[in-house]
Amino acid sequence: MIQAPDLPLWAAIIVGLFVVLGAVITLVGAIGLIRMETFYERVHPPTLGMTLGTGFVLLASITCFSVMQSRPVLHEVLIAVFVTITTPITLMLLARAALYRDRSEGVQDVPGDFGDEGDD
């Protein structure tokens, strides 16, 4: 950000707040990835970075460039859209792979395949 010194003080404060907030939320998600115990629990924390973490960083970017160029810069919205559409695919793929492995190994605390069960 070479033009950053041109940013007026009020905008710099807002942008800074958004960036730090987004980074902190993403960090909490990353810490969660380490602190959770099972695989299925570990899939959840990174979504923090993907939702509000990304959201705040994008808000910062929108504010920063909109103020500097004195016109609304909105193409960051596309990043939010594509991140939201694509990350669930990875998460589901990982969870399905883990579930498949656990089921074929006969681990007790995962639910069986719907077709395999007589009780429901």
Question: CB 107 → another protein: shortest distance, Å?
Answer: 12
Pair of tokens at residue 92: 């589901």
Which run of H or of E encompasses 86?
helix 76-105
Q: What is the DSSP letter of 94?
A: H
Pair of tokens at residue 46: 């990174």
Sign of CA dihedral 88, 93, 97, 99: positive
Closer CB to another protein, residue 1 or residue 78?
A: 78
* Interaction pattern, residues 20-59, with another protein; x per rule: CB under 8 A: -----x--xx-xx--xx-x-xx-xxx-xx-xxx-------
Position among 105, 116, 119, 120 found at the interface with another protein (CB under 8 A): 120
Residue 79 binds another protein, judged by CB under 8 A: no
> Exposed, middle or buried: residue 115 (CB in 10 Å: 0-12, 13-18, 19+)?
exposed
Task: Show Cβ contacts of residue 92 under 8 Å, excluding neighbours closer than 6 positions.
Answer: none
Question: CB 92 → another protein: shortest distance, Å?
Answer: 6
Q: Which residues bind another protein (CB under 8 A)?
A: 25, 28-29, 31-32, 35-36, 38, 40-41, 43-45, 47-48, 50-52, 74-75, 77-78, 84-85, 87-88, 91-92, 95-96, 99, 110-111, 114-115, 120
